[in-house]
Amino acid sequence: MAILTNFTKSRWLPVLLVAVSIAITSAGHYRTPKDLILWHGIFQRLYYLPVVYAAIVFGWVGGLLTAAVCAILYIPHIATTWAGHPHYSLEQYAEILMFFAVGGVTGILADRERKRKKELQQTAEELRRVYRELQQSFEQVKRADRLSAIGQLAAGLVHEIRNPLSSIDGAAEVMEEPDVTPEIRQETIGIIRKECARLNRLLTSLLDFARPRRPEWRQVDVDRVIDAVLNLVRHSAGKGIEFEKEVEPRLPRLLCDEEQLSQVILNLALNSVQAMPRGGQVRISARSENGDVLIQVSDQGPGIPLEHLDRVFDPFFTTKDNGTGLGLSVVHQIVSQHGGSVAAAPNRARGITFSVRFPLSKAS
């Protein structure tokens, strides 16, 4: 009953096309003289067109119903026109059975195709729904990550500022004592200046991290930048620190911001020096590799625990007692602005190696 209901609700235009084609075919049969057998054969095959069309549009029910209508209209023609030709009449009746076979099989295949198409549409709609939900979830995760990063930044900033302020406050209390000796007063003033300088470094690093300057692109000789950084670091490094440089001959000039490239190498070199208070070797190398310019800075310090390697570039994360935890964050930010990448990996013996890659698509 439901099938018939669905059939009656079908569009009227296909029904009209089926009815018109059956009427034309039947009229051709009845109005064609008996001796024109070829034309009777043509009209007989034309019945398949409405049967197949109805089966495709309405399914197996439409195909069988159309085949039944064709049979009802065709049987009287067989019985009256070909009564004296029993063999030919038998072939015509067999042809009617083919109407039903073709209508049923075509309709079943059409129904299966419609069902498959409907399932694909439902699957596509479900995938679109899941995709929208994933997008919403992804946006929520990004917002949560941003809020978490802001929270970590604020917590780290408070911690880094509180310690110097506590030292300055303690020094002020000492200065308030009436019987402070000149030596103690001078030492206290030194503490205040030291902590103020520490705060100034912290704020400078914070500004570099929070408001990174856009790179000023120019062709830069990496070898010359490394030499300039080494000359600067050697003056601030303590005793027992040795520096080694290895630069590939004819290394391509890099299209980058020279000042920011210097800052990257300087921060990594200072990080290596600070990791070796008892001395050691800092090695800086540069070469082309896999379409990149690879700059590596290695030290012989105690290294970084494996569980902390994925956090070394986080703001305010540091394993040093006097570190701000912003130097490597600034390095990561500058390198990202240049379309490169930076990573940290432990050395086989001891220490750690920072690898900075700049794409050679920006080199000449």
CATH number assigned to the domain comprising residue 327: 3.30.565.10
Does residue 247 sit in the same domain as residue 164? Answer: no
pLDDT < 70 positions in the chain: 1-11, 40, 81-90, 142-160, 205-212, 316-325, 361-364
Provide the domain count of the chain. Answer: 2
| Nearest 10 degrees: Cα torsion 7, 10, 13, 16 | 20
- Cα 204–205–208 angle (5° rounding)? 90
Per the structure, the complete domain to which residue 59 belongs is given by: 1-211
Does residue 229 sit in the same domain as residue 204? Answer: no
Q: Write down which residue in 165, 187, 211 finishes a domain.
A: 211
Does residue 139 sit in the same domain as residue 279? Answer: no
The pLDDT value recorded for residue 2 is 46
Does residue 201 sit in the same domain as residue 235? Answer: no
Does residue 311 sit in the same domain as residue 189? Answer: no
Does residue 32 sit in the same domain as residue 176? Answer: yes
Q: Write down which residue in 169, 194, 211 finishes a domain.
A: 211
**Is there a contact between 344 and 356 (Cβ–Cβ < 8 Å)?**
no
**Is there a contact between 191 and 171 (Cβ–Cβ < 8 Å)?**
yes
Task: Identify which of 192, 270, 262 has the alpha carbon closest to the alpha carbon of residue 233.
Answer: 270
Does residue 176 sit in the same domain as residue 231? Answer: no
Q: Write down which residue in 184, 211, 238 finishes a domain.
A: 211
Task: Identify which of 70, 52, 67 has the alpha carbon closest to the alpha carbon of residue 108.
Answer: 52
**CA torsion sign, 124 to 129 to 134 to 136?**
positive
The pLDDT value recorded for residue 27 is 79
Does residue 17 sit in the same domain as residue 146? Answer: yes
Does residue 32 sit in the same domain as residue 128? Answer: yes
**CA torsion sign, 207 to 212 to 218 to 221?**
positive
Confidence (pTM): 0.51
For residue 333, count other CB atoms closer than 10 A to its CB.
19
The pLDDT value recorded for residue 288 is 93
Does residue 151 sit in the same domain as residue 222? Answer: no
Taking only the tens place, the pLDDT of each residue in 69-124 is 888 887 787 777 666 666 666 677 777 888 888 888 888 888 888 888 888 888 88
Does residue 206 sit in the same domain as residue 245? Answer: no
Does residue 184 sit in the same domain as residue 292? Answer: no
Residue type, 47: Y
